[in-house]
Amino acid sequence: MTTKVFVDGQEGTTGLRIFEYLANRDDVEILRISDAQRKDLDARRDFINRSDITFLCLPDVASRESVSLVDNPSTCIIDASTAFRIDEHWAYGLPELSKAQRERLRTSKRIAVPGCHASAFVLAAQPLVAAGIVPKNTPLTAYSITGYSGGGKKMIAEYEAGAVKLTSPRPYALGLQHKHLPEMKVRSGLDFEPVFTPIVSNFYKGLAVTTFLHPQQLPGQVTPARVHEALADYYAGERFVNVAPLDAASNLDEGFFDVQACNDTNRVDLFVFGNEERIVTVARLDNLGKGASGAAIQCMNLHIGADEGKGL
C-alpha cells in the first residue's frame, strides 16, 4: 500500500532533505503543493487532510496553525519544530529513548521530532540518569559544536558568501536560553536544564555535544568504564546508536575528534573520555540526518510499519 506524504514547509532545509530521503521510495506518494498555494490556508488544509503523513517543517507558530487544520483522524503529523517536544500528548521522536518508545511512535498520530542538540544530549545523558549514575538533581554542563546548516537558509547563504568574520567558530545563545533546553531536561529525566552553550563553525553539517561529569559530585564510584558500560548496555542491539569502544585509538584522529564523521548517516556515535577525576561523554551525529530529517523519516517508517531504516 502506498503512503501519501505531504511536507508543509517544503522549501526549508529540513523539508528539502526529507524529499531527498523519499525520492527513490516506491511505497510513498508525495503530495506537492504549488508555490502559489503554499501560504493558502484552505489549500494547506486540503493537502494535510488528504495525507497519511504530514511533515511540518515550519516555525513554531506556523506548526501550531497547521495542526489546527487537521480534520482527518487518520492523518499522522510529524512536526520538526520545537512546538510540541515536551507536550505529553505528543510522542517524542527518539525511538531509542526507552523500550516503550517505539510502540508509542507506531500508534501515535502526533510525533515531535527532537532538536539536533537535544538528540545528542539526551542520548548520552538519559541512560546515565536511568541507571542512577547521574542523579536527577545533578546540574549538568554541556556544549555543542555544529555546522552552519542548522541555522537554516539565511545562515547557509551568509556562510557560503564567504564573509571573513565567519571563518572562526562562533559561540551563540549566550543568554543561556537556547530553545532546546526544555526537552534536554524533560527527555533526559533531569530536574534542571543544563548549562548549555552551542558553537557554530565554518563547515556545512555535523554536530557533537560534549557533556561534563565530575565523579566527585556523583554517588558511588563513577569511572569512565562504568559510564561506558551503562551506555553500551542501554543501546545494545540499536542499529542507529553506536557506542564506541572505550579508549580505542580509532576514536580520535591523531588526538583530535572528527565532528563530521557521522555525516550522511542516520547514526549517532557515543564516546566516553576521561579518568577517575574528570569524565566527558561526546555524542556525534549529522544535524540534518539523525538530528532532523533522518529522525523524521525513521519515525515515519515506524508509524507505517516499514523497516525502520528504509531510505536511511
- Helices within the chain (DSSP H only): 13-22, 41-50, 60-68, 101-107, 116-130, 152-160, 181-188, 224-234, 294-304
Location of C-alpha cell 555544529: 146
Q: Catalytic residue at 116? A: yes
Cell triple for residue 170?
A: 562562533
Count the residues in the chain. 312
**Cell numbers 561529569 correspond to what residue?**
213
Which three cell numbers mark 169? 567558530
Nearest-angstrom CA–CA distance, 296 and 193: 25
7 DSSP 8-state letter: E
- The residue assigned the cell 487544520 is 69
Q: Which listed residue (76, 116, 262, 299) is catalytic?
A: 116
d(C-alpha 3, C-alpha 27), whole Å: 6
Catalytic residues: 116
